[in-house]
Amino acid sequence: MGAIRSKWSLVAGVALATVALGAAPQAARAKPGVVFLPHQALYDLSLVKTRNNTSISTVRGRILYNFSGNACEGYTSDFRQVSEIESGEGKNSLSDLRSSSWEDAAGKSYRFKIDTTMNDGDTTDVDGVAERTGDHITVKLKQPVQKTFTLDGSTVFPTEQIERIIAAARDGKRLLNLSVYDGSDNGEKVYNTLTVIGQPIKGDAAAASPDPATKDDALKSLTRWPVTVSYYDRDAKPNAGEQTPVYSMSFELYENGVSRSLVLDYNDFVLAGAMGKLDVKAAGKPCN
């Protein structure tokens, strides 16, 4: 799934540095041979626990994620998350986040549009395009303000993030450092990410909590890995202690890019995302 970075959102699909010092330089985009499955997945959100005396009693919500495309056409992601949070004081907070993006399969171009609405109030819009040229990336924002700036060429976009995680998992690697840009927040944020990859789970292994993914014929023969991705503020000043991630997310990642059994950790509270529905979509036009 793709990735959206905000207090109430997942970074989907699914897009993923040394934590305090930044990512090691990446050369040309990796060619790991990942074939993504076009699909639509629905996840039901629920509260797992709270920390730091956070006054949250209940969380209800859903994530709807659409992914399509291939290595010739590029990849399109549409993401929506609606969350309602009830505090112990009887106060409710409703958020509605929508994101659409297209990413060139070679990692050279990324277009994005993100709309966030809180409590039926004003909508915050982020709209822009990022183009990779040589050793840098040029970002041109239309919203929230017109602005052009550059990013280090080692930065990756969301689909490439998932592609690299799958490639690392296949190679038996357990740690992966990446610097990721997905256009979230005000369109200027870059995250350092640390991905921890667990032992592979064979397709015929029984799941503790079965869902449409574990029952789907297209996935039953595929390997999946337990993955935890922690997101760190690249602009935060390092201190003597270990840097705390802005948030982290855990999930089981299939080798075709489908994710199940989500856990979203926002430090003050943790949400579970159980897959309620999975629709496998027809493949796009074949590559020439």
So what's the pLDDT on residue 218? 82
Residue 170 lies in a domain: yes
Contact 26, 158 (CB under 8 A): no
So what's the pLDDT on residue 3? 37
Domain that holds residue 265: 39-102+153-280
Placement of tokens 């990512």 in the chain: 23
Backbone φ and ψ for 158, nearest 5 degrees, come out as: -60, -45
So what's the pLDDT on residue 239? 64
Residue 43 lies in a domain: yes
Separation of alpha carbons 195 and 175, rounded Å = 6
H or E stretch covering 47: strand 39-50
Residue 100, burial from CB neighbour count under 10 angstroms (0-12, 13-18, 19+): middle
Band (pLDDT 50/70/90 cuts) for residue 282 is confident
Res 251 pLDDT > 70: yes
Separation of alpha carbons 190 and 79, rounded Å = 20
Residue 77 lies in a domain: yes
So what's the pLDDT on residue 191? 94
Cα 88 to Cα 29, 59, 64, 84, 91, distances in angstroms:
48, 11, 28, 13, 7
So what's the pLDDT on residue 203? 83
Residue 117 lies in a domain: no
Give this prediction's pTM: 0.86
Residue 227, burial from CB neighbour count under 10 angstroms (0-12, 13-18, 19+): buried
Residue 48 lies in a domain: yes
So what's the pLDDT on residue 119? 87
12 CB contacts (<8 Å, ≥6 apart)? 1, 2, 3, 4, 63, 65, 77, 79, 99, 158
Separation of alpha carbons 19 and 57, rounded Å = 32
Contact 286, 43 (CB under 8 A): no
Separation of alpha carbons 78 and 82, rounded Å = 14
So what's the pLDDT on residue 53? 81
So what's the pLDDT on residue 21? 27
Q: What is the per-residue pLDDT across 199-247, written as a single tens digit (0 to 9) for each?
A: 999 988 888 889 999 999 889 899 999 999 999 988 776 665 677 899 9
Q: What is the per-residue pLDDT across 166-207, written as a single tens digit (0 to 9) for each?
A: 999 999 999 999 999 999 888 999 999 999 999 999 988 888
Band (pLDDT 50/70/90 cuts) for residue 13 is very low
So what's the pLDDT on residue 174? 97
- Nearest Cα to 278, choosing from 263, 261, 255? 261
Three-state secondary structure call for residue 235: coil
Q: What is the per-residue pLDDT across 130-162, written as a single tens digit (0 to 9) for each?
A: 999 989 999 999 999 999 999 999 999 999 999
Q: Among 4-18, 20-34, 263-277, name the most confident range.
A: 263-277
Backbone φ and ψ for 102, nearest 5 degrees, come out as: -135, 135
**The two three-digit tokens of residue 46, written as one number:** 């629920």
Q: What is the per-residue pLDDT across 57-107, written as a single tens digit (0 to 9) for each?
A: 899 999 999 999 999 899 999 999 999 998 877 788 899 999 999 999 999
Contact 162, 193 (CB under 8 A): no
Residue 257 lies in a domain: yes
Q: Which amino acid belongs to residue 158? A: P
Res 126 pLDDT > 60: yes
User: Per DSSP, what are the bridge partners of residue 96?
Assistant: 82, 117
Res 27 pLDDT > 60: no
Placement of tokens 């990779």 in the chain: 132
Residue 22 lies in a domain: no
H or E stretch covering 165: helix 158-170
Look at the chain and report how many structural domains it folds into: 1
Residue 228 lies in a domain: yes
- Nearest Cα to 23, choosing from 181, 180, 195, 177? 177
Q: What is the per-residue pLDDT across 252-267, written as a single tens digit (0 to 9) for each?
A: 999 999 999 999 999 9
Placement of tokens 């999930």 in the chain: 251
245 CB contacts (<8 Å, ≥6 apart)? 194, 230, 231, 232, 267
